[in-house]
Structure 1
Amino acid sequence: MPAPILQETTTRPSIIVDHVSKRFLRRNSHSFKEAFVGWIKGKKVRADMFTALDDVSIQVGEGEAVAVLGLNGSGKSTTLKLVSGVLEPDEGRVFTRGRVAGLIEVGAGFHPDLTGRENVYLNAAILGMSRTQIDERFDDIVAFSEIGEFIDQEVKHYSSGMFMRLAFSVAIHVDLDILLVDEVLSVGDAPFRAKCAEKIKELTARGITMLVVSHDQNMVQELCERGIVISKGKKVFDGPISEAVTHLRS
C-alpha cells in the first residue's frame, strides 16, 4: 500500500488528533448467556485486545469540512468519539478549540420518558445554552425539525427519523465552533436530508468546522472539500475529497 498522503491545514487548527491509538477489549463469547454458562462451569471467557486506531494524526483547520471515510470497522466512528470527548485515547492526545456539538448516534442523550420539548431543553443545556437562549430559539428548533405536532409526545414513541430531526436541529441552533456528524444524515427523507445539507453549507460558510462520517459518498463530496481515509485503524489517505473517494473505492 502506498504511503499516506498528508494534508496540512492553511488555517489555525480547530481539531488536533496527535498520534492517537485506541484499543478495546474484545471478548470471544457470543452472548451474555454463553458467558454466564461458561462462568457457572468454571470456564474462562477468552478475550483479546482489538486496536481500533493505531497512531493516527489529523489536523482540521478552522472552517474546514472534512469527511472521515472507511469500511465498516475501520475506526471512523471511534475517531469522532475521541474528538467529541466520549472516549479517551490510550496513547496520544486530542485537542479541540471552541464549543463542540456532536451528532454521533441518533437520539443519543435523549431521555425516552421525556417529551420532545423537555429533551430540547435538556440537550441544549448540555451543549451550553442558557435557559434564555433556549427560549429564544425554541420555535426555530421545532420549525427546522418539522415535528411540531409531536413535540409534546414522549420521545420513546419517536421514529429514528424524528430523533435525528430533533437532535440535528438542536445542535445547529447552538453557538458551536465544531460540528461532528456520524451517519445520522442518512436517516430521514430526501427533502429533509437536502435541507440539512444546505444548513451544513451555511455553517461552514460561517467558519464552523465540520467532521463527518458517512458511507454516502455523493453527500460527502457535496459537503466536504477534504477526505481522510482510515483502513484497519490506520490513516492511509488525507487529501482532496474526490481523490479520497477514489482511494476508498480502489
Structure 2
Amino acid sequence: MAASAHAIEVRGLGVRFRRNRRGRRSFKDLFAGSKRRARPGEFWALRDVTFTVAPGESIGVVGRNGQGKSTLLKLVAGVLLSDEGSVAVNGGVAPLIEITGGFVGDLTVRENVYLTAGLHGMPRSHVAGKFDEILEFAEIGDFVDTPYKHLSNGMKVRLAFSVVSQLDEPVLLVDEVLAVGDKAFREKCYRRIDELLADGRTLFFVSHSERDLRRFCTRGLYLDKGRLAMDAPIEDVLDRYNADYPVG
C-alpha cells in the first residue's frame, strides 16, 4: 500500500458534547441509536469538517472562543474520538496542548522528564542523551531533584515545553502555549518552533495571536459555529475573520 501523501487527513469530521452534564456520552449512548442526530441536551462542537494537510505545511486555526478549535486539535492528537467522519495522521504527533497535563506533583523534575518523555514514546536512552539540553532550555537545572509540585507555574510550562519539543515526531500540534510565560521564554519558544519547521515538521497551530499566526503559518482554517467557514492562505483567512468579527 502506498504511503499517504497527507500529514493530516480529515473527512466529514463531527463531534458532539452534552450541555447538561459533565463528560462525554455514556457507553449506552455510544452503542444505541443513530450517530448522526444530537439528542436533547447535546450540541455539535464540530460538524462536517473536511481538509488535508501536506507534510511540511504550517496551518493556523482561526476562530472565536467556543467554535471548536481546541476540540479539533484534540481530535488530531487522538485525545478525543469523533462521532462521525474520520481523522488520520501520518506518523506521530508532538502535542503542545495542555502541556503540563501528565506531570506528577510528588515526583521530582528528573523523574517527570523520564516519565513524560517515555509516555510519548521516547526511549530512555534518548531521554538520557537529551536530559541536559531539556533542563538547559527550561532553565530549571537547580531544581532537578525538587518535587514538580513545588515549581512555579512558569517553571512548569517551561519544563513541559522543553520535553515535548524534543519529541522526534513529524506533526507538531500547538494550542496557545506561546501565550504563557515571560517575553524571553516566548522568544525562545519561537526560535525552537522555527528550528522544527526548518527541519520539515508539519505545524498545526491554534492561536488568537495574529502576530504568531502570520509568523509561523502560510495557510489558515477558519472555524465558525463548529464548521469550516474558510480554507485559504493565512492572510486571506485573517482578513475574513476580522471582517466577520471586527474589534470595537
1:99 aligns with 2:92: yes
Residues 193-208 of structure 1 aligned to structure 2 (within 5 Å)? 193-208=186-201
Q: How does 1:121-136 map onto structure 2 within 5 Å?
A: 121-136=114-129
Aligned length: 224
Give the structure-1-normalised TM-score: 0.85
Residue identity in the other structure for 1:96: V
Q: Which runs of 5+ in 1 are unaligned?
A: 1-10, 30-46
1:7-59 CA distances to partner (integer Å, 9 max, x unpaired)?
xxxx9310111110000011179xxxxxxxxxxxxxxxxx6002100110121
- Normalising by structure 2, we get a TM-score of 0.86
- Distance in 1 (CA, whole Å) between partners of 2:154 and 2:239 is 30
Correspondence list, 1:155-194, <5 A = 155-194=148-187
Q: Residues 81-125 of structure 1: CA distance to partner in whole angstroms, max 9, x if unpaired?
A: 000000000000110011211121141111122122111101110
Pairwise CA RMSD: 1.7
CA distance in 1 between counterparts of 2:174 and 2:128 reads 25
Identity of aligned residues (%): 47
Structure 1 match to 2:77:
84
Residues 128-147 of structure 1 aligned to structure 2 (within 5 Å): 128-147=121-140
- Which of structure 1's runs of 4+ aligned residues deviate more than 6 A? none
Note if contact 1:160-1:187 (Cα within 8 Å) is conserved in structure 2: no
Aligned: 1:54 with 2:47: yes
Q: Distance in 2 between matches of 1:161 and 1:220?
A: 23
Could you say if the C-alpha distance between residues 153 and 242 of structure 1 is closer, same or farther in structure 2, counting changes exceeding 3 Å? same
Higher mean alpha-carbon deviation, 50-59 vs 157-166, is at 157-166
Corresponding letter in the other structure for 2:73: L
User: Does residue 120 in structure 1 map to residue 113 in structure 2?
Assistant: yes
Local SS of the residue matching 2:19: strand
Q: What do the CA deviations read for 1:149-183 (whole angstroms, capped 9, x no partner)?
A: 22322222233322221111111212111111111
Extract unaligned runs of 5+ from structure 2. Answer: 23-39, 244-248
Cα gap change, 1:28/1:93 in structure 2, threshold over 3 Å: closer, same or farther? closer
1:140 match: secondary structure: helix
SS of equivalent residue, structure 1 residue 13: coil
Query: CA–CA distance in 2 between the matches of 1:212 and 1:109?
Result: 21
Describe the SS at the equivalent of 2:72: helix
The answer for the alignment partner of 2:222 in structure 1 is 229
* Partner Cα separation in structure 1 for residue 210 and residue 231 of structure 2: 15
1:71 offset after TM fit, Å? 0.4
Work out the CA distance in 2 between the residues paired with 1:63 and 1:28. Answer: 40
